[in-house]
A and B are shown apart, each in its own frame.
Chain A
Amino acid sequence: MSIIFRLDRVMADRKVPLNELARRIGLTDSNLSILKTGKARALRVSTLNALCRELGCQPGDLLEYVPGEPQEDFDD
C-alpha cells in the first residue's frame, strides 16, 4: 500500500514501549502491533486521535504517502 505507518519511528523517538502505549490509548497489544507492523487495512479516526494525543504528534508524523507503491485499493 502507498500509505506507510511510521508509528514505530515515533514510538522509538518518544521511547514509549508498545504495551504502555496500548494501555494508554485503550487498545490490545496485538491490535497496536498490527498498526505498528503496517498490516492494518484501516485506521479509525478515534484511534488516530488517541495516538496523536498520547505521543504528542500530528497525524502526518504517523502516516506517510510513498508514491509508486503498488495499488490495491478499491479494486473490488
Chain B
Amino acid sequence: MKYFGTRSLSSFMHGLLTVVWYLAWAFAVLAIVLGTVIVFHEQFGSPFSGGMADSSRADIRDWERFQSLPLGVRILILPYFGAVMTLVLMVLRKARILFSNFRSEVVFDPENVRVIRQISKLVIAMAVLTFSAGSFLTGVILLLICEILAAGTVLQEEHDLTV
C-alpha cells in the first residue's frame, strides 16, 4: 500500500476529511439551531416522544431531569457543545493540513511537527471536556509521536545538508 503521495492512503484520508469537515459544519449548525429550540422552548416536549428516536427509560428520565433544571443551568449546555464542536472542527482542520502535506510527500517537516503537536493538545483538551480516557491516551500518544517526528525532522535536515 502506498502511504504518501498521490493515489495513496494520505490522499484518500485528505478527501475523506474534506467531506467530514463539511458534514461536521452542517451538523454543528443544525445541532445548535435544533438544540436551542429543544432546550429553551417549553412546549417542544421530549425528543423521545412520537417515535422520533429509539429511547430507553433511562434516556427519558435523564431528559425529564434536564428539563426540570433552571434555565440558567440549562443554558450552560450551549457553550459546552460549542466548545466541543470547536475542538472537533479544529482537529479536522489540522488533520486536513497534515494529510495534505503527506499527499505532497512532505513528511519530515517542521510544519508537520507543529501541526501534530497542536492536534495532540486539542485531543487532550477534548478528552478533559468529555471525560474520555481513550481520547486522553490518544492525545498523549500523539504528543510522543510528534517528538519522534521532530527527531526525524532533524535527521532529515542533516541528510539534506550533507553533500
Contacts and interface: CB of A to CB of B under 8 A. Distances in A.
Interface residues of B, number: 5
Contacts of B158: 41-42
Interface in A1-55: 27, 31-32, 34-35, 39-44, 47
Nearest to B158: A41
Nearest to A48: B163
A44 B161 contact: no
A41 B157 CA distance: 9
Decide if the interface of chain B is mainly helix, strand, loop or mixed: mixed
A66 B162 CA distance: 21
Nearest to A39: B161
Interface string B129-163: 00000000000000000000000000001100111
B163 to A, nearest CB: 5
Contacts of B162: 40-44
Contacts of A47: 163
Contacts of B161: 34, 39-42
B79 to A, nearest CB: 44
Contacts of A27: 163
A49 B105 CA distance: 33
Contacts of B157: 41
Contacts of A34: 161, 163
Nearest to B162: A42
Contacts of A41: 157-158, 161-162
A-B complex: 9 closest residue pairs judged by Cβ atoms: A41-B161, A42-B162, A35-B163, A40-B163, A31-B163, A40-B161, A47-B163, A41-B158, A34-B163
23 contacts: A27-B163, A31-B163, A32-B163, A34-B161, A34-B163, A35-B163, A39-B161, A40-B161, A40-B162, A40-B163, A41-B157, A41-B158, A41-B161, A41-B162, A42-B158, A42-B161, A42-B162, A42-B163, A43-B162, A43-B163, A44-B162, A44-B163, A47-B163
Interface of A: 27, 31-32, 34-35, 39-44, 47
